[in-house]
Structure 1
Amino acid sequence: MSSKEKIAIFWYRRDLRLHDNAGLYHALRSGYRVLPLFIFDRNILDALDNKYDKRVTFIHKTLAGIQESLKEKSSDILIEYGFPKAVWEKIISQYDIAEVYTNHDYEPYATERDQEIAGILKTKNIDLKSFKDQVIFEKQEILTGQNTPYTVFTPYSRAWKAKVNDFFLSSYPVEKYLDRLIKTQLPQLPSLEDIGFQETPDDFPSASVDEQLLNKYEEQRNYPAINGTSRLGIHLRFGTVSIRDLARKASKHSETWLNELIWRDFYHQILWNYPHVGKGHAFRSEYDRIKWRNNEKEFKAWCEGKTGYPLVDAGMHELNETGFMHNRVRMVTASFLTKHLLIDWRWGEAYFAEKLLDYDLAANNGGWQWAAGSGTDAAPYFRIFNPAAQTEKFDKKGDYIKKWVPELNSLDYPSPIVDHKFARERCLKAYKEALDKG
């Protein structure tokens, strides 16, 4: 690569793939040679207390795969570790950059970061061009008849399905233009130790989804003992799969699974249009008046799976040991924390953010606010899951519970932390008092 050659940079974030990548496609079509870039962002990594974080290992492993693929084409990826502002100032001094390409990220930190970097680039007359990639529809592409964002899922999903067509589901033919990558060799990917982390086991779920699983998805997805869900959450979170590929497959095999993908779009447009939800506030402000008990001892018991409610404890054990929890059980554990124990949903949201391999701010926040009753499409506050009834319905033989709570019938297993009937009445009273103040 000539030191005087003007180039375009494609900035990877949560879109870690070559295939069907919107921003990368547009960069390759720019007329400039393209240098891919990834930044291990210290603003994010420094906030992770656990330096044995499987998500960082997943990113590292994925980048190693991308680097290997690029080297086969005599190209490479520039991988930096630091604070984005300082990294970009260094890159600007090293390369003659014509344009920078990337894909949209809708989280509050990401939008602030991108505005800052766009400002730095602008001082050098460099445009930051960003594209939609991780969702099918974003921001205000789906609006009500009054030109307002939808805040209820069912009408949103109807509008989504009415608008979608082959144009929105078509893949970007990146592969046709990969010869426009810069021919270069760059330093090897820094080790996990170089960025302050330890390597974890490499036992991540597959990035492919079985068509037979999709065909049975509707009938099996609610039963945690069955391997009936796609487990693609981590791949969607970091963009190692294409949402367009998945939506086409879902349209063909399972409308129920397609609805789950539409939920992702829904929560991302909620986060964009109502950014207060991503900054610690209830979607419905009146729910911020609830007087939470926030008993730290009970929160610890919930975190450790020692509530005396087997389905709740099984879910927490699964989460703590694997970084995954079945979606039906996520609803039960979240409802239990907020309504049985009257502990602020933000405490649970933060715990899931720390533990979930597929942690995604928009979906995690949406799910927790749904459980607490404070969000869009929320379960009414008087709907309080009975863990025993949920067990009878979705784990009747106890296979899931036996797997994750082997101590169930021993003296080591705790008595229920609270009586269900008492907890229900206490919750209804607390919520009613808060909401009646309006």
Structure 2
Amino acid sequence: MEEIVLFWFRRDMRLHDNVGLYHAIQTGKKVLPVFIFDTAILDQFPSKDDRRIQYIYQALTQMNEALCPLNSQVFVYHGQVIPTFDYLLQKYPISAVYTNTDYEPQARKRDSAVQALVAQKNIAFYSFKDQVIFETNELLKSDNTPYKVYTPYAKLWRSKLTEQHLIDWTITLNEGNFVPKDKEVALPSLIKMGYNTPTIKNVKPPVFDRSIIQNYTENRDYPALDATTHLGMAIRFGTVSIRTCVKQAIRDNDTWLSQLIWREFFMSILYHYPSSARACFKSEYENIKWRNNEVEFEAWCKGETGYPFVDAGMRELNQTGYMHNRVRMIVASFLVKHLLIDWRWGEAYFAQKLNDYDLAANVGNWQWAAGCGCDAAPYFRIFNPSEQQKKFDKDEQYIKRWIPEYGTEDYIAPLVEHKFARERALTAFKQALK
């Protein structure tokens, strides 16, 4: 039986400009394209209407539509990773496994386990840089330690960037590239996997709206304008390549490029300091005496704090899985500073709700808001939600869109008065950081 190679899709749900897939095809052997709905991950996100699962499912459907004329498909499995690989190694004459590197702590453990498993059968495991421009140890300080501050990291990132980093790894596909389709490995239905019928339909390939990107600097802070790229999910799940995004940003908007560099900075921090996923980067912040009032946390989750900018953001999140970036900062600061609730509670809630949830960025931004991150806002910087509203939603368009009872007696009174909450937070932080 002819030897084949396996390509394992993860955060790279596309056939174009995919580094690992390119190298798998270049072997000249038939490629078995595999995706695993990993129950170890899915069990952490129990919602039966999870839009992220629907998005992945539609990305798989679109890849299958592209592979069908080539008499192939993505071979999709639902279960634990190691038993799935055990099965695949028994069923197919696999000579090597190809994939793109994932830098999250749990993903690294999973990949190490797969690598060890295939090594027992003398099968090579090749992993490629695909979801970042610079990975792991490519950007280090002169003493070979990782950067902990964004600005010098970003400066080096920009200075090291060359055209070589932005190569398009697209390769012309033909029928001879892939293992033929197998009717017995049809894409399992969402319902069969325990999910409801999709609520999002026909996810189109990511589109770069150049007018939005070109005006991003001026408009990005105003949630009523809907003037951000909405590429978060596409970047998170890899239906667009980061190289394509960086090329577009270089062409159209440097502020957006800075945001893409922040993404890689947070990935670098999580890679080098994996404990920061659950622990304050600045360990002295573990001394803060959080109030962790569950009733107030529930009110924050529901968007019932009495602060319209906060409530609009949380209701947008709950209803759509999306929240405007400026508003994410306001709601995070409010939870941590006004209510003195542990940032980890908010991070976990966002993990359940955000369509574009990314561990590194979410943890990095929550720790930034709490003041406990590596390059964070100082603890005494406490946003006034009412002033933020006047500045970024002065006509109240965003608020009225998400809070129909706003301006009536049905709208809730504020949970806490700003000045009191600010002083309480300053006291708690000062005591913890003595």
CA distance in 2 between counterparts of 1:267 and 1:326 reads 19
Which residue of structure 2 aligns with residue 72 of structure 1?
A: 69
CA distance in 1 between counterparts of 2:392 and 2:208 reads 23
CA distance in 1 between counterparts of 2:227 and 2:170 reads 32
Contact 1:308 1:413 in 2 (8 A): yes
- Higher mean alpha-carbon deviation, 321-330 vs 182-191, is at 182-191
In structure 1, the gaps of 5 or more residues are: none
The amino acid of 1:348's aligned partner reads G
Query: Which runs of structure 2 are paired with 1:330-349 in the superposition (5 Å)?
Result: 330-349=328-347
CA distance in 1 between counterparts of 2:315 and 2:196 reads 23
Give 1:175 deviation, angstroms: 2.4
- 1:264-319 alpha-carbon deviations (Å, 9 max, x no partner): 111111110111112x1111111111110000000000000000000000000100
Which SS does the other structure have where 1:195 is aligned? Answer: coil
Contact 2:72 2:175 in 1 (8 A): no
Query: Which runs of structure 2 are paired with 1:293-332 in the superposition (5 Å)?
Result: 293-332=291-330
Which residue of structure 1 aligns with residue 105 of structure 2?
A: 108
Which residue of structure 1 aligns with residue 279 of structure 2?
A: 281
Give 1:207 deviation, angstroms: 1.1
The amino acid of 1:433's aligned partner reads Q
Give 1:128 deviation, angstroms: 1.1
- 1:189-238 alpha-carbon deviations (Å, 9 max, x no partner): 10001111112322557611111111101000000000210011111111
Contact 2:99 2:126 in 1 (8 A): yes
- 1:346-401 alpha-carbon deviations (Å, 9 max, x no partner): 00000000000000001101110000001122010000000011011111111111
Instruction: Please tell me whether residue 171 in structure 1 is matched to residue 175 in structure 2.
Output: no
- Higher mean alpha-carbon deviation, 63-72 vs 205-214, is at 205-214
- Higher mean alpha-carbon deviation, 147-156 vs 300-309, is at 147-156
Which residue of structure 1 aligns with residue 258 of structure 2?
A: 259
Instruction: Please tell me whether residue 242 in structure 1 is matched to residue 245 in structure 2.
Output: no
For normalisation by structure 1, the TM-score amounts to 0.97
Instruction: Please tell me whether residue 133 in structure 1 is matched to residue 130 in structure 2.
Output: yes
Give 1:31 deviation, angstroms: 2.9
For normalisation by structure 2, the TM-score amounts to 0.97
- 1:312-355 alpha-carbon deviations (Å, 9 max, x no partner): 00000100000000000000000000000000000000000000
CA distance in 2 between counterparts of 1:176 and 1:7 reads 16
Rate the CA distance shift 1:428–1:354 in 2: closer, same or farther, 3 A. Answer: same
CA distance in 1 between counterparts of 2:70 and 2:340 reads 56
Rate the CA distance shift 1:196–1:301 in 2: closer, same or farther, 3 A. Answer: same
Contact 2:71 2:175 in 1 (8 A): no
Instruction: Please tell me whether residue 96 in structure 1 is matched to residue 101 in structure 2.
Output: no
Which SS does the other structure have where 2:223 is aligned? Answer: coil
Rate the CA distance shift 1:224–1:178 in 2: closer, same or farther, 3 A. Answer: farther
Contact 2:233 2:355 in 1 (8 A): yes
- Higher mean alpha-carbon deviation, 206-215 vs 329-338, is at 206-215
Superposed CA RMSD: 1.2
- 1:76-101 alpha-carbon deviations (Å, 9 max, x no partner): 22111110011111111101110000
Which residue of structure 1 aligns with residue 409 of structure 2?
A: 411
Instruction: Please tell me whether residue 211 in structure 1 is matched to residue 210 in structure 2.
Output: yes
Give 1:408 deviation, angstroms: 1.1
- 1:113-145 alpha-carbon deviations (Å, 9 max, x no partner): 111111111111111110111111111111112
CA distance in 1 between counterparts of 2:205 and 2:116 reads 39
CA distance in 2 between counterparts of 1:206 and 1:38 reads 19
The amino acid of 2:384's aligned partner reads N
Which SS does the other structure have where 2:70 is aligned? Answer: coil
- 1:167-188 alpha-carbon deviations (Å, 9 max, x no partner): 0011113226774222333432
The amino acid of 1:229's aligned partner reads T
Which residue of structure 2 aligns with residue 36 of structure 1?
A: 33
Which residue of structure 1 aligns with residue 153 of structure 2?
A: 156
- 1:393-431 alpha-carbon deviations (Å, 9 max, x no partner): 111111111111121112221111001001011101111
**Candidates 28, 52, 55, aligned match of 2:49:** 52
Which SS does the other structure have where 1:297 is aligned? Answer: helix
Rate the CA distance shift 1:337–1:182 in 2: closer, same or farther, 3 A. Answer: same
Which SS does the other structure have where 1:194 is aligned? Answer: coil
Contact 1:218 1:256 in 2 (8 A): yes
Which SS does the other structure have where 1:72 is aligned? Answer: helix
Contact 1:267 1:366 in 2 (8 A): yes
The amino acid of 1:367's aligned partner reads N
Contact 1:42 1:81 in 2 (8 A): yes
CA distance in 2 between counterparts of 1:369 and 1:175 reads 43
Instruction: Please tell me whether residue 21 in structure 1 is matched to residue 18 in structure 2.
Output: yes
In structure 2, the gaps of 5 or more residues are: none
- Higher mean alpha-carbon deviation, 404-413 vs 33-42, is at 404-413
Rate the CA distance shift 1:205–1:425 in 2: closer, same or farther, 3 A. Answer: farther
